[in-house]
Amino acid sequence: MRIQEKVIVITGGASGLGLSTARYMIEEKGAKVAIFDVNEEAGQRAAAELGERAMFVRTDVTSDESVRQAVSSVTARFDAVHACISCAAILGPSKVLDKEGRATPLARFAQMAMVNLVGVFNVMSQCAEQMAKNEPEAGEERGVVINVSSGAAYEGQVGQCAYASTKAGVIGLNMPAARELGVRGIRVNAIAPGLFLTPMASQLDSKVLETLKAQTEAPNRLGDPREFAHCCAFIIENAYLNGETIRLDAASRLRGR
């Protein structure tokens, strides 16, 4: 699918990889971008910075009604949805047992599952509803879904039970969704990013950054957010890529601790 003039929804688009992708899609590819995020201040600032090709809608991805209203706002402004990239996620410690050997409160696991997995399905399904209405490009494509997983889905570290399992669930969505939506001209893929030098990561202590860098293989550095954005563009533009998860991690594998 050609990206120029297409409408792309990006959740978690007010910061980090989401914001870098929004900027790339507008400045490098000529797309129109709708930023979905719960951070109103950061979202409004991002939309203002990106200009008239961008819009922001405060969105809770765990709420059916919030996403429905957000998608409706996008179609009212830009007339369509052609792609969605689900970057919104939360990260936090979650062991099976705490230091005293007590079971971890279920609410902590459930909250991460709601944002990282249920929210991804919510946005995918409601955006796909709109994509299915598009005229097929080249007689084939009406839309593209990119769901963001993580290297933790494969090698989850100690303390990542909730995060790793929700990100593995994102990968599990790929094939059944791709098979179902393919007949409607909608492709579904995922990216499992490794360690990236996001603005948040760049504020870490230099020793911490060196420790993270040491976990990478080749190239021996943290990823540039533009490399993630470029991967998103590649997925959208390559019409034969479907039902796959791309590990974008410099051949790195997370250690147990």
Helices (H), 51-160: 64-78, 106-113, 119-131
In the chain, how long is the greatest CA-to-CA distance? 60
Q: Which long-range contacts (CB under 8 A, 24 or more apart) does 62-67 make?
A: 62/114, 62/115, 62/118, 62/119, 62/122, 63/122, 64/122, 67/36, 67/122, 67/123, 67/126
Joined together, the tokens standing for residue 70 give 């957000």
Share above pLDDT 90 across residues of the chain, in percent, rounded to a whole number: 77
Asked if residue 206 has pLDDT above 80, the reply is no
Name the average pLDDT for the chain.
Answer: 93
Q: What angle do CA 134, 61, 155 make, to 5 degrees?
A: 100
Kindly report the backbone phi and psi dihedral angles of residue 58, in degrees, each rounded to the nearest multiple of 5, phi listed first. -65, 125
Q: What percent of the chain has pLDDT over 70?
A: 97
pLDDT of residue 203: 62
Query: What whole-number distance in Å separates Cα of residue 69 and Cα of residue 57?
Result: 9
Is-contact 127 71, C-beta < 8 A? yes
Of the two residues 173 and 159, the one the predictor is more confident about is 173
Class assignment of domain 7-247?
A: alpha beta
Ranges of each domain in the chain: 7-247
Averaged pLDDT for residues 106-133: 97
Active-site residues, by number, are 163
In the structure encoding, which two tokens stand for residue 4, read together? 């120029």
Whether the pLDDT of residue 155 is over 90: the answer is no
* Other Cβ atoms within 10 Å of 220 Cβ, number: 11
Over 70: is that where the pLDDT of 204 sits? no
Banded model confidence at residue 256, pLDDT cuts 50, 70, 90 = low
CB 241, CB 143: distance < 8 Å = no
pTM: 0.94
Q: Answer yes or no: is pLDDT of 171 > 90.
A: yes
Pairwise CA distance, residues 168 & 154, whole Å: 7
